[in-house]
A and B are shown apart, each in its own frame.
Chain A
Amino acid sequence: MTLANAKPEAQNLEFECDTGNYHTFCPISCVAWLYQKIEDSFFLVIGTKTCGYFLQNAMGVMIFAEPRYAMAELEEGDISAQLNDYAELKRLCDQIKRDRNPSVIVWIGTCTTEIIKMDLEGLAPRLEAEIGIPIVVARANGLDYAFTQGEDTVLAAMAHRCPTSAEVKTEEEKEERNGIQKLLSFGRKKEDGATAATDSEYKDHPNLVLFGSVPDPIVTQMTLELKKQGIKVGGWLPTKRYTELPVLDEGDYVIGMNPFLSRTATTLMRRRKCKLIGAPFPIGPDGTRAWIEKICSVFNIEPQGLEEREAKIWESLEDYLAIIRGKSVYFMGDNLLEISLARFLIRCGMTVPEIGIPYMDKRYQGAELALLEKTCHDMGTALPKIIEKPDNYNQLQRIKATQPDLVITGMAHANPLEARGINTKWSVEFTFAQIHGFTNARDILELVTRPLRRNSSLKDLGWDKLVKEEATV
C-alpha cells in the first residue's frame, strides 16, 4: 500500500467490539442521495419487497418525485431459478433504457442476490454489451455493510470506470471531464474579462482527485478552498454526470471527503495505483484545516492564511459554543461519521464518553483518530471509548446510568429517549446536511444545538419525563 506520508501515531484510544445488535439504515439507502448526485444515472435495486419497503418509507416524499431508481423485485420463480436471471434483468433494463435512457445503470446487489449467489458481476458485462449502456455493480447489502458504506461500495465500483488520460483523447472529452474547473473559471472569466488560462494561479503539483459524494455547493466550496492554496482539483469521484467521471492515472493523488470510504480508497490504491493522502476529514473548521494542511504538506506547499481562517470561523460560532460547552454527547453509532463529529464536538468543548460506530477502519481513519486523540489532550478531556458494532440494548443501559446531555441516535430510539427526558439528535440528519468545510461548521452546530435550544425553551413547563414508570428498555 502506498499510503502517502503515513506516519504511525501512538494509539491510546480504547477500542471495543460488541455484539452488533444495533439499529442502522440498510446500505441500499445510498441510492437516495447518489441518484440525485449523479444526474444521468439509474439505480436498480435487485432485491425483495423488504428492500423496497425500506426505501419507500425511508425516502419519504422523494419517492413521489419520480426518482431514477426502481426495485427489480425478486419473485419466487427467481429464487428457485425457474426464471432465468439474465433474461429477466435484460427485460427490465430494456424497459429502463426505453423509459429513462440513462447514461449508466447501477445494479445494487442485496442480501437476497448474495444468498442465492446471483452472479451480477458476471451478468453485467454481457448485458452491457448487448444494450449499450454501462452497468455498474455494487453489492450494498445488509449482510456485509451498514448505511453509508453503501456509497462506498458504489464508488469503489465506479472507480474502475474512471478513464485514464490515455483513453481520453479528444479535446471535447477533456473539456467534459473537467466540469468543475469549467464551472469555476466561468465566473472568473466574466469577472476579469480574460479568456480562461487560470492555470498560472495553481502551483505545480501532481493530479489530485477527491472522492466522496457531497452536495454541489460543497464541491464548489472545497474546490475554491484548495484553489486559495494554489491546489488544483483534478476531478471528483463521483461527478454530476456519469459521463464526466474524472481521469485517473497511475501515481495520481487521491483524498477522501468522508470517513466511510475505505473500500473506495483501497480500490483507488490497489487497482488504480493512486496515492492516498491520509488526513482527518474536512468536518468542522479543525478538520477542514487539518485536511487542507495535509494536502499542502504532501505537495510541499506552504499553507496560506489557514490559521486565521480557522480562528475566524471559531469566533463566528461562539453563540453556539456557549450552549454546548461542558455538555456531554453520546454517539450510539450508525453512519460512520461518528469519529469526525466527536472530534469536532470535543474541540467545541463537549465531552464524549462513548463513540459507537458500525465499522472502524483504523488505517483509513488513522489520521482522524490521531487528531481525535490530540484534540482530547489539547482540551484536557478524557479519551472516549470507541465501540465497534455496538449493542443498542447495552448502550441504553449505559445512557440510563450516565444521563448524557445529548444522545446522537437513530429514529428508532429518539422518541423513546425524549419521553424519558434525554435530549436526542437524529443521526441521519448529519448524512444529509451540508457538514463539510469551513463554511458549514455552523450547520453542524445548528443540528447539535437544536434539541438543547428547543428543550431549554420548554424547560420550565415541568413535563420532561413523559412515561409513567421507568420501564425497562
Chain B
Amino acid sequence: MKLAYWMYAGPAHIGTLRIASSFKNVHAIMHAPLGDDYFNVMRSMLERERDFTPVTTSIVDRNVLARGSQEKVVDNITRKDQEEHPDLIVLTPTCTSSILQEDLQNFVERANLDAQCDVLLADVNHYRVNELQAADRTLQQIVQYYLDRADRKGERPEGKTEKPSVNIIGFTTLGFHNNHDATELKKLMTDLGIEINAVIPEKASVQDLKNLTRAWFNLVPYREIGPQTAQYLEDRFGMPFVDITPMGIVETARCIRKIQQVVRSQGAEVNYEGFIDEQTRFVSNAAWFSRSIDCQNLTGKKAVVFGDSTHAAAMTKILAREMGIHVVLAGTYCKYDADWFQDQVGEFCDEVLISEDNGAIADKIAKLEPSAIFGTQMERHVGKRLNIPCGVIAAPIHIQNFPVGYRPFLGYEGANQIVDLVYNSFTLGMEDHLLEIFGGHDTKEGITKTMSADSDLTWTKDGLTELNRIPGFVRGKVKRNTEKFARERGVSEISAEVLYAAKEAVGA
C-alpha cells in the first residue's frame, strides 16, 4: 500500500479510453463499477466537447460479483453496436476487472459473432501500466489489428505514395495542447513539401489504417504515445520513423534534418537547410528573442522543470541551450522511461529527479528556490504557496490548459509560444520581487488616492531624477511610500537621499 495524495499519470483504462475516443466512430465499453465513467466528465468539461463521449460502462455490481458478468458484457456490446453502428468497440478492462479475472477475451469473441462492428479487448493491465503506457499499447494494438486483417484479406495497398509522405502518430484527446500541435505539424509538413498520409489516432477512421504503409515514414512527436506503433511499423513493414520532438528551435531543426535524411534515403532529392535557416532567423521570433536584451536579463536565472518525459526534456533543453537559463533541476514522473530522460537532459541541468511523488518535487522546489517553475498544475500550486511563478508545460492539467486560441508547443509557432510562456513567467516573478523591495502591494495606508497631485511635499530635481529611474510599474508605489516616509519624519523636501532612506526604511 502506498499513501498517496495526488498522482501524475492516471490509471491504465484512461489511456485506452483516450485512444478509443480519439478515433472517429470507435466506442469503448468499460467493464467497471458505477462511477468509473468519470472519463466522460473530463472529456466533456476539459475539451468542451460538443458530442457525447463514445464511452459507456458495462456495470459491475453485486450480481456480477456473485454470478459473473455472464451475458451482460456481450449484450452491452451488441446493443451499442445496434444503437450507434461504430466501426470498432474496444472492451476496456479496469482495476476491478483485473481482479475479477473474468475471461473478457471470451466475451469479445462471442460478441464478434453477433456484432456488425469489430470488437477488441484492450491488452492493458491496471497493476502493471499507467495511463500513458496503456495509451501507447492500445494504439499499437488497434493499428496491428487492422493491418493484419488488411493483409489477410489482401486489402492493404502496395507501395508508397508518389511524393514523400508521412504518418503523424500520437495526437489524442485530453493530450496537452495536442490539437494545436497537430495543426502546427501538418503545416510544417506542408511547408516541407511532405504529404500527410495519415494523422492518428485523433479524428482518424480505423478503416483507413490499412493505408498507413503507403507513407514514406512515421513522425512520432511525443515520447509517451506513439513509439510502440512506430516501432511495430518499422519491424513489420520496414517503415523508418523520426522520434525527435520538434519543440524549441534547435530540436525542430534537428527533427527536420532527420526527416531530410529519411526522405533522401528513399530517393527524394530534398534540401531543407534553406527552410530551416529562413524560419529560424526571420520567421520565428524565438531565435531573435534569445539574442535580445530581454533574454539577456534571464541569463543564469534558476528554473526547475518537471513534467512528462517529452515536455520536461524539451523544456529543459530550450531553457538551458536557447535562453541561457540555469536549470537547477529537471524531473519527470515517467519512471518507466527514466534512462531515456536522464540521457536527454543530463548535460543541461544540475540534477535529475525521477519521481511520482508530488511531495518529493515540492520539497525540492522549496529547497532550491528557483525564480520560475515549469511543471504541471501540481507544481503551479506549489509555486503559489511558495510565491514562485509557474508556467504549465505538461499534464496533469486543468480546463485553463485547453485554450480556445491557437497555442501549439511544437514547431516554429510553438517556439514563439514557449518564449512568451517563459518570458511572462520570469517577468511576473521580477515584478513581484520589485514590488516587494519597494514596499509591497499594501496600499491601505495610502496617503493620497491620486498618484501625483496636490501633495504638500516638493521633490528636488535630483529626487525626481532618481524617482524616474524606478521602473514604471512600481514608480507610483515608491513615490507614495517615500512621501509617507517624509511626512512621518517632517521632511518637506524630498531629495534622492530621502528617497533611498525611505527605501531602506521600508526594506528594514
Contact = CB atoms under 8 A, between A and B. Distances in A.
Nearest to A147: B35
Nearest to A89: B1
Interface string B61-77: 11001000000000010
Interface stretch (B40-48, B323-331, B469-477): B40-48
Contacts of A64: 378, 381, 384
Contact of A50 (B3, B95, B100): B95
A32 interface: no
A115 B96 contact: yes
A92 interface: yes
Contacts of B56: 21, 393
Given A23-B40, A79-B99, A413-B52, A73 B4 contact: yes
A224 interface: no
Interface string B383-412: 010000000000010100000000000000
Contacts of B36: 26, 50, 54, 142
Contacts of B38: 25-26, 53-54, 57-58
A143 B66 CA distance: 12
Contacts of A91: 1
Contacts of A112: 95-96, 99
Interface stretch (A262-270, A309-317, A465-473): A465-473
Nearest to B47: A415
A111 B127 contact: no
Nearest to B50: A419
B35 A25 contact: yes
A89 B48 CA distance: 40
- Which secondary structure characterizes the binding site on chain B? mixed
A147 B34 CA distance: 9
Q: Among B1, B35, B51, which residue has the most Cβ atoms of chain A within 10 A?
A: B35
B50 A415 contact: yes
B142 to A, nearest CB: 22
B307 interface: no
A451 to B, nearest CB: 16
Given A49-B7, A112-B96, A415 B49 contact: yes
B35 A415 contact: no
Interface in B226-258: none
Nearest to B37: A23
B42 A416 contact: no
A111 B94 CA distance: 11
Contact of A143 (B2, B52, B57, B61): B61
A300 interface: no
Interface in B70-111: 76, 83-84, 94-96, 98-100
Interface in B9-38: 10-11, 13-14, 32-38
B2 A412 contact: no
B170 to A, nearest CB: 22
Contacts of A396: 52
Q: For the complex of A and B, list the 5 residue pairs with the smallest distance between their C-beta atoms, beginning with the closest.
A: A26-B35, A142-B33, A412-B40, A419-B50, A64-B381
A24 B1 contact: no
B60 A70 contact: no
10 contacts: A49-B95, A50-B94, A50-B95, A54-B38, A72-B2, A114-B65, A115-B100, A147-B35, A396-B52, A415-B50
Given A23-B40, A50-B13, A57-B38, A473 B52 contact: yes
B3 A70 contact: yes
Given A21-B76, A412-B53, 8 more contacts: A54-B36, A60-B398, A76-B127, A78-B1, A112-B96, A115-B96, A142-B36, A411-B45
A54 to B, nearest CB: 5
Contacts of B32: 50, 142
B34 A142 contact: yes
Contacts of B51: 416, 419, 467, 471
B126 interface: yes
Q: Among B1, B38, B83, which residue has the most Cβ atoms of chain A within 10 A?
A: B1
A411 B41 contact: yes
A60 B45 CA distance: 12
A83 B127 CA distance: 15
A414 B53 CA distance: 11
A72 B57 contact: no
A380 interface: no
Q: Among B10, B32, B396, which residue has the most Cβ atoms of chain A within 10 A?
A: B10
Contact of B14 (A53, A76, A473): A53
A73 B2 CA distance: 5
Contact of A52 (B7, B44, B127): B7
Q: Among B3, B13, B45, B384, which residue has the most Cβ atoms of chain A within 10 A?
A: B3
A6 interface: no
Given A50-B36, A143-B61, A415-B44, A472 B83 contact: yes
Nearest to A20: B59
Question: How big is chain A's contact interface, by range?
Answer: 35 or more
B130 to A, nearest CB: 8
Contacts of B126: 48-50
Given A115-B100, A116-B99, A50 B11 contact: yes
A95 interface: yes
Contact of A413 (B44, B59, B84): B44
A49 B1 CA distance: 11
Interface string B290-311: 0000000000000000000000
A56 B2 contact: no
Interface string A67-106: 1001111111011000100001101100110000000000
Contacts of A58: 38, 41
A23 B55 CA distance: 11
Contact of A92 (B3, B10, B42, B48): B3
Contact of B33 (A21, A56, A111, A410): A111
B25 to A, nearest CB: 10
Q: Among A50, A147, A396, A466, which residue has the most Cβ atoms of chain B within 10 A?
A: A50
A127 interface: no
A437 interface: no
A115 to B, nearest CB: 5
Interface string A390-418: 00010010000000000000111111100
Contacts of B98: 79
Contacts of A301: none
A379 B491 CA distance: 77
Contacts of A246: none
Nearest to B38: A54
A21 B57 contact: yes
A249 to B, nearest CB: 35
Contacts of B33: 26, 111, 141-143
Q: Among A58, A89, A116, A396, which residue has the most Cβ atoms of chain B within 10 A?
A: A58
Given A57-B42, A64-B381, A146-B34, A115 B53 contact: no
Contact of A54 (B35, B53, B61, B76): B35
Nearest to B48: A415
A49 B11 contact: yes
Nearest to A142: B33
Interface string A200-230: 0000000000000000000000000000000
A63 interface: yes
Interface string A30-54: 0000000000000000101110111
A423 to B, nearest CB: 15
B1 A70 contact: no
B61 A20 contact: yes
